[in-house]
Copies of this chain bind each other. A is one copy, B any other.
C-alpha cells in the first residue's frame, strides 16, 4: 500500500531541487534496479514493487509492495515496469584526471544526449565527466533510464568549467570543434580531457581558448553537424 505522502514525495523527486536537497534519485524497471542493487556504491532508500518483482526479491528490506495501479501513479514511464526505486546518489572516490581520459560537457541540454554520453563513457572505460552547471541533471529520470546502470559507474561532477580548469591540474584539453585537427589522423591518447559543446552553440569561447588542441570529425556528406551524443561516441572510439 502506498500512502499519499509517499506518492507526493516520489513525485516531488521529479524536480532537481528536491533531488539535490535529498541527495537521491529515482530509477525504474527490474533490469536497471537489479543493476543498481548489485552496484557497491549505490544504496537503496525505498523500493516500490509489484508482487512479481517482490516475489523474486524476498530478502530486500527496503521493499514496499504496491499494486500495478499504484505503480502507475508514481511511475514516469509510459509503460511502468514492475518496480520503482529511490536510491542515494552513487558514492565515488576522489576523481583522478591523470593517466586516462575524461570528458568535459559544456552545456549539454538534452537528457537523452547526456544519457547516451554517460553510457558511451562507461563503454570506453572513462571514469569521470565534468559538466558545466547548466548541463542537464544526470539524475533526471530520463537520463537515469537511458544510462542503463552506467550512472553508478561514471562519476559526474558539476562545476563552473572555467574555475574548474583554473583550480585543477588537468592534462591537456581537447576541444571538439568543426575546424580542428582530423580525428582520424590522431593516435589514441594516454591522457586528456575531451570537451564536448552545446548541441547548437558548441563550446563557449573562453573555454575554447583554454584548450591546447582542437579536433574535428571529418565530414564526408552534407549534414551540418552530428548529434552531440554520436559525436562523443565517435571521438571516444578513436582516442581510447
Contact = CB atoms under 8 A, between A and B. Distances in A.
A223 B115 CA distance: 12
A126 to B, nearest CB: 7
A55 interface: no
A202 interface: no
Contact of A237 (B112, B119, B234): B234
Contacts of A124: 219-221
B116 A223 contact: no
Interface stretch (A83-91, A142-150, A169-177, A206-214): A142-150
B227 A120 contact: yes
B221 A153 contact: yes
Given A153-B222, A221-B122, A221-B126, A229 B116 contact: yes
Interface string A100-133: 0000000000001001100111111110000000
A233 interface: yes
Contacts of A112: 112
Number of copies: 2
A123 B229 contact: no
A116 B113 CA distance: 10
A123 B221 contact: yes
A7 interface: no
A161 interface: no
A224 interface: yes
B224 A240 contact: no
Given A119-B223, A220-B124, A231 B229 contact: no
Contact of A217 (B148, B220, B237): B237
B229 A227 contact: yes
Contacts of A126: 221
A226 interface: yes
Contacts of A229: 116, 227, 229-230
Contacts of A120: 223, 226-227, 230
Given A148-B225, A233-B233, 8 more contacts: A115-B227, A116-B226, A120-B223, A122-B221, A124-B219, A148-B223, A153-B223, A227-B229
